[in-house]
Structure 1
Amino acid sequence: MSQTDIFDSETLVPDEVLAHRAATLLGFQQRYDRVHDQLRLLLSADKLADWSKRHHRRNLPICELVADQYPLVVFHGDVGTGKTAMAECIANRLLTEARSEDATIFRLSNRVRGSGKVGEMTTLLAEALKRVTASVGKTRRAVLVIDEGDSIAAARSQEHSHHEDKVAVNTLIQGIDDLRRYKGRIVVILCTNRLSVLDPALLRRAAIVDRFDRPSDAERRELLEMDLDGIEVTPAQITELAELTGPTGDAPGWTYSDFRTRFYPAAVARAFPDGPLRYEHLRAAATAMVGSRIMEDR
């Protein structure tokens, strides 16, 4: 694997694409407001001493404790609930508002698991952490987003856990421990569908643990109203679509991903290229689909 393959993307901040995407994420502002203060504190640990001297005329002991927290955030929830997209957009907004120059958002590739060769995953993970730390130099900042974090951070105590997996988890934990010396200039956001399988030692280090759920009835209506803007559908039809995409019997309600990667393309395909997209196309596509199965967190 080449070095460039370690990351799916390396995005310089501010990024207009991520800023635009944030506007399309339902509930982005509410979630951003909820995690903003703690994330800002994580990314500003190097400024705590100055803050303390300015407002308390000395460096308070509590500041040293706060500055030494682990720069780890965990986003968890069912598949398709927007964890990774939200992580990247939150990082972009936060770093932009902080006016961090030359900040970078890295998204770790699942290819870091390697091809199964002994020691390969550990080597690639260590290389990824090395590249992130090298990018910040003495003044810059970075956020590392890890998607499907349970694939490299599962509990070492699991019976089926191989030695290679255990060594990789040790590498990740040690890497996060080492990041504390950067005093918040590097933060890791780990996204996982299965919180319960994460290694307890890693989870104990998380400064923030935030849950993502499938959209509620009201959220599905809001999503449809936003995404179907410009299409001739009535409020009653929006409500019906929201009901069709909700939980029924043993079938779960749809995820955000179900709407945007499966439902909308299926509906547009029924209309394209001969006529406009109409409600009957949307309804037909909705009735022909079921929501993604729930990822069991155990």
Structure 2
Amino acid sequence: MTLPSIFDARTLLPDPPLALREKTLLGFEGRYRKTHDQLRLLLNLGELDAWSKTHHQKKLLLCDLVAEQYPLVIFHGDVGTGKTATAECIANRLAKESRTEDAQLFKLSNRVRGSGKVGEMGTLLTQAFHEVVQAAGKGRRAFLIIDEGDSLAASRNQAHSHHEDKVAVNTLIQGVDDLRRFNGRIVVFLCTNRLSVLDPALQRRAAIVEEFTRPDDSERQALLTMDLEGVGLTDHEIRELVLATGPRNKQPGWTFSDIRTRLYPAALAQAFPGRALSYKDLIDVANAQQPSPVMEDK
């Protein structure tokens, strides 16, 4: 269900389309395994006392310290590297593995910035957290994804930071702080192209900080091989496409998004509807277009 104002999407988990989508995310399994143990701990903070008494015959002081974690995960990196899609699919996998039938995934809309009225952005953020908390209730799980997080959570110390922006950051920090009382049942994924501009107080609260980079040669080869199955390209032609989408002439390599949302449609448009897609269509587009510029993290 799509809401008109605060959220771009509100999805019941587990969600079959997201389960299918994770299969198209190159490197998802490795990324999931890398973060799984810490995410599992974050999602089950309420069970620490029982674990401690079972395995250590008493409640360890360590449990209280770990339970103070903030339910915040930060995914950062260049544009088009799959941060938001990965966050959505990880939330879906976690809901499936925990056998939670009524978990919900919220994707915050940039409309939460409001129309510029005094106090509006802080009010909308407060409302967003309230709706997520209401959805979680007394025993359910909820996941909140904040895309382009630097637009909402830029450092309050920046010279050009307006009062409304500072209020929004304060509200966001307070919202994350309040979620600790749910013992991991509510988790926030904040995705950003520029980690360095996030407010330091928010960075310090992150239980997990994961970087996403542009695909290297082997990753682009795996992506092209997977996506172009059935087109009839030779191994040599795939390797030529890998080179054409790699760094050259002081330009960076193509992102996952560049390949899927620019290379494929432009190449297919040359062939459709009269003939089959060919290697020439793909290599011509790859040589003619440039990758997305790097988003400088300053």
Q: TM-score, normalised by structure 2?
A: 0.98
Aligned-partner SS, 2:9: strand
Quote the Cα distance in structure 2 between the aligned partners of 1:49 and 1:100: 22
Work out the percentage of aligned pairs sharing the same amino acid: 64
Superimposed CA distance per residue, residues 89-121 of structure 1 (whole angstroms, 9 cap, x where no aligned partner): 011001210112311111111111111111111
User: SS at the partner of 1:158?
Assistant: coil
Q: Which residue pairs with 2:16 in the alignment? A: 16
Please, what is the CA RMSD of the aligned residues?
A: 1.0
The residue aligned with 2:229 is 229
Deviates more, 1:19-28 or 1:60-69: 60-69
Structure 1 unaligned spans of 5+: none
* Conserved? CA contact 2:3–2:9, under 8 Å: no
Residues of 1 paired with 2:3 and 2:25: CA distance? 31
Q: Distance in 2 between matches of 1:3 and 1:176?
A: 22
**Which residue does 1:56 correspond to in 2?**
56
Partner Cα separation in structure 1 for residue 129 and residue 210 of structure 2: 23
Residue 128 (structure 2) pairs with residue 128 (structure 1): yes
Structure 1 segment 1-298 matched on structure 2, within 5 A: 4-298=4-298
Deviates more, 1:2-11 or 1:28-37: 2-11
The structure-2 alpha-carbon separation of the partners of 1:3 and 1:220, relative to structure 1 and needing over 3 Å to count, comes to closer
- After superposition, give the CA deviation of every residue in 1:223-245 in whole Å (9 maximum; x if it has no partner): 00000011110000000000000
Query: What SS class does the counterpart of residue 297 from structure 1 fall into?
Result: coil
After superposing on structure 2, the runs of 4+ consecutive aligned residues of structure 1 that deviate more than 6 Å are: none
Give the partner amino acid of 1:273. P
Question: Match for 1:5: what amino acid?
Answer: S
| Structure 2 letter corresponding to 1:233 | L
SS at match of 2:275: coil
Number of residue equivalences: 297
Letter in 1 for 2:286: A
What is the SS of the residue equivalent to 2:62?
helix
Q: Deviations over 1:111-143 (max 9, x none)?
A: 111111111111111100000011111100111
Aligned equivalents of 2:243, 2:33: Cα separation in 1: 29
TM-score scaled by structure 1? 0.98
Output the CA distance in 2 between the equivalents of 1:270 and 1:264: 10
Distance 1:49 1:13 in 2: 28
1:4 is displaced (CA, Å) by 4.1
> Unaligned stretches of 5+ in structure 2?
none
* 1:186-220 residue CA offsets vs partner (Å, 9 max, x unmatched): 01010000000000000000010000000001101
Secondary structure at 1:153 match in 2 = coil
Cα deviations across residues 141-176 of structure 1 (Å, max 9, x unaligned)? 111010000000000000000000000000000111
SS of equivalent residue, structure 1 residue 128: helix
Whole-angstrom CA distance in 2 between matches of 1:111 and 1:207: 27
